[in-house]
Amino acid sequence: MNTLLIIINIAIFLLLLFLLFRMQKKHISFSKRVFTALGIGIVLGLAIHLAYGTDSDVTKGTLDWFNIVGSGYISLLKMIVMPLVFISIVSAFTKLKLTSNLGKISALVIGILIGTTAIAASIGIATALGFHLEGIQLEEGEAEITRNTQLQESVGDVKDMTIPQQIITLFPQNPFMELTGARPTSTIAVVIFAAIIGIAYLGIRRKDPEHADFFSKIIETIYTVVMRVVTLILRLTPYGVLALMAKVTATSDYSAIVKLGKFVIASYVALIIMFLIHLLLLALAKQNPVTYVKKAMPALAFAFTSRSSAGTLPLNIKTQHQEFGVSEGIANFAGSFGLSIGQNGCAGIYPAMLAIMVAPTAGIDPLNPAFIFTLIVIVAISSFGVAGVGGGATFAALLVLSALNLPIAIVGLLISVEPLIDMGRTALNVSGSMTAGVLTGKITGELDEEVYKQPKQNLQV
What percentage of the chain has pLDDT greater than the value 90? 29
Highest-scoring range by mean pLDDT, 67-76, 173-182, 277-286: 277-286
The yes-or-no verdict on residue 451 having pLDDT over 80 is: yes
The pLDDT of residue 148: 46
Q: How far is CA 272 from CA 121, 254, 268, in A?
A: 13, 22, 6
Pairwise pLDDT comparison (418 vs 47), residue with the higher score: 47
Residues 21 and 25: their CA atoms lie apart, in Å, by 6
CB-count exposure of residue 385 (10 Å: 0-12, 13-18, 19+):
buried
Confidence class of residue 415 from pLDDT cuts 50, 70 and 90? low
The pLDDT of residue 270: 95
Residues 158 and 405: their CA atoms lie apart, in Å, by 12
User: Is the Cβ–Cβ distance between 88 and 335 less than 8 Å?
Assistant: yes
The pLDDT of residue 144: 45
Specify which residues 30 forms β-bridges with: none
User: Kindly report the CA angle at 196 between 191 and 202, in degrees rounded to 5?
Assistant: 125
Mean pLDDT in residue range 26-34: 83
The pLDDT of residue 145: 45
Confidence class of residue 459 from pLDDT cuts 50, 70 and 90? low
The pLDDT of residue 30: 80
Q: Does residue 326 sit in helix, strand or coil? A: strand
Residues 299 and 426: their CA atoms lie apart, in Å, by 11
Listed range (119-123, 352-356, 435-439) with the worst mean pLDDT: 352-356
> What is the pTM assigned to this prediction?
0.81
pLDDT digits (tens, 9 = 90+) for 284-318: 999 999 999 999 988 898 888 878 887 788 889 88
What percentage of the chain has pLDDT greater than the value 70? 87
Confidence class of residue 175 from pLDDT cuts 50, 70 and 90? confident
The pLDDT of residue 3: 86
The pLDDT of residue 16: 94
Mean pLDDT in residue range 345-360: 88
Q: How many helices (H) and strands (E) does the chain have?
A: 22, 0
The yes-or-no verdict on residue 161 having pLDDT over 90 is: no
Mean pLDDT in residue range 394-401: 77
| DSSP characters over 174-236 | -HHHHTTT-STTHHHHHHHHHHHHHHHHHHHHHH-HHHHHHHHHHHHHHHHHHHHHHHHHHTT
The pLDDT of residue 77: 81
The pLDDT of residue 136: 55
The pLDDT of residue 147: 47
Listed range (232-241, 273-282, 388-397) with the worst mean pLDDT: 388-397
pLDDT digits (tens, 9 = 90+) for 180-226: 777 767 777 888 898 889 889 988 888 888 898 899 999 989 988 98
Mean pLDDT across the chain, nearest whole number? 83
Task: Please report the domains of the chain, with CATH numbers, ordered by start residue.
Answer: 2-453 (1.10.3860.10)
The pLDDT of residue 123: 95
The pLDDT of residue 401: 80
The pLDDT of residue 235: 86
pLDDT digits (tens, 9 = 90+) for 118-151: 999 999 999 999 988 876 555 544 444 454 455 4
Mean pLDDT in residue range 353-363: 86
Q: How far is CA 138 from CA 33, 133, 264, 412, in A?
A: 40, 10, 13, 10
